[in-house]
Structure 1
């Protein structure tokens, strides 16, 4: 006896035959419809869920709607604990997100890492899906198991417009994650001056003392190696103009100058010296910035 297909081929004949406009997304959905139509009914519930996950990832709204009509559940989870809505959010699938929400998908669902659909959207910079989720009632401050909020994720990723959206939705500006960092720490550490400016304008503390007594200025001074030196300096300048204290020291006794020297950021060292950083200051082990310098050129600049 012929086995029943997961999706009746007739239900998506237009898609499978490629009768829709020949746009890349439509072609992808047409191919998916054809693939699903060939799958047998063995383990039908499981296959329906897997198919819904595929449709969510590819933003094939008609297929997702058809699967839901066939009995697919919006509450099904994959091996990582993600629902179809979680997948749609992380992939930026706006059309399927709307279909799933209308079908009763849990907007507050958490995967095995504790991430909600909104956080997954924020991690991947999916601003438009994030806006849909926020409009539907998603909590802008729901953090995962590591304390990462959507705003922190967006700041880390450099997604400026998404940061704006989350701030407007009421995100807690100085929420601290499990490593003791706030959104401004991440923005400063990655040289995202425009995001740092947004956060400060929204009330972020430019001189806040967070995990390991590190301030945003210290994060800017030791910025990531893939951040252009000019961006790191622009961020440090912004923080100083906003009231950051150049003389603060972390729990090792190191200030921004020492951190920049140890990281090998010669341009940052020069900038901080121009701003009045003290090269004679010593850390908890009695070392100066010159002692910590990563290169001989920086050491010489510091008088070591």
Structure 2
């Protein structure tokens, strides 16, 4: 159906009631072939829905590194912040989607970005207990002394808290 509609030169970026485009819907459904077709025909990967999410936010939320790679190859912006103050990297980490987080870090996503609670990617990686992402982040130019809004906790405080639970 997508191929048929694209052959008829349909509008690539019409929005539904939540300002979601066919590309966003295809990413939400993890329909990789549709995502590729839409991107190859010029669908805009940076349209923002009513929640401030782009297609890349949904790929990060779903943990879909393959779709995230396709979106980035077609100009998806890494640093868009949604209404919850989350970039795709922060959203991926918050959801525990380590593969997407690793991909976004390697794509040069901002590793010093913070969410609404001033939590850094390092703090979120510690929370989701991903030693590989913690290690990858520590190889970047990050502020390991950044403090969150919840009592001014640092990444080290997050690590200590995790250790005390195990």
TM-score normalized by the length of structure 2: 0.83
Q: Distance in 2 between matches of 1:292 and 1:149?
A: 38
Q: Distance in 2 between matches of 1:209 and 1:281?
A: 19
SS at match of 1:203: coil
- 1:257, 1:289 within 8 Å by CA — same for their partners in 2? yes
- 1:214, 1:250 within 8 Å by CA — same for their partners in 2? yes
Deviation at 1:209, TM superposition (A): 3.1
- 1:248, 1:255 within 8 Å by CA — same for their partners in 2? yes
Deviation at 1:141, TM superposition (A): 0.5
Tell me the equivalent position of 2:133. 272
Tell me the equivalent position of 2:109. 244
Tell me the equivalent position of 1:287. 153
Q: Distance in 2 between matches of 1:279 and 1:272?
A: 14
Q: Distance in 1 between matches of 2:19 and 2:123?
A: 29
Deviation at 1:216, TM superposition (A): 1.2
Deviation at 1:300, TM superposition (A): 1.8
Q: Distance in 1 between matches of 2:28 and 2:126?
A: 23
The Cα offsets for residues 183-202 of structure 1, whole Å up to 9 and x where unpaired, read as 00110121100000000000
- 1:290, 1:299 within 8 Å by CA — same for their partners in 2? no
Instruction: After superposing the two structures, state which structure 1 stretch, 249-258 or 197-206, moved more.
Output: 249-258
SS at match of 1:212: coil
Q: Of residues 33, 44, 67 in structure 2, which corresponds to 1:195? A: 67
Structure 2: 5+ residue stretches without partners: none
- 1:207, 1:243 within 8 Å by CA — same for their partners in 2? no
- 2:89, 2:105 within 8 Å by CA — same for their partners in 1? yes
SS at match of 2:57: helix
Deviation at 1:282, TM superposition (A): 1.6
Q: Distance in 2 between matches of 1:289 and 1:190?
A: 25
Hey, which of these two has a bigger chunk of helix by percent?
1
Higher relative contact order (CA 8 A, sep 6+): 2
SS at match of 2:84: helix
Q: Does 1:208 align with 2:80?
A: yes
Deviation at 1:254, TM superposition (A): 1.6
SS at match of 2:24: helix
Paired positions, count: 160
Tell me the equivalent position of 2:92. 220
Deviation at 1:211, TM superposition (A): 2.9
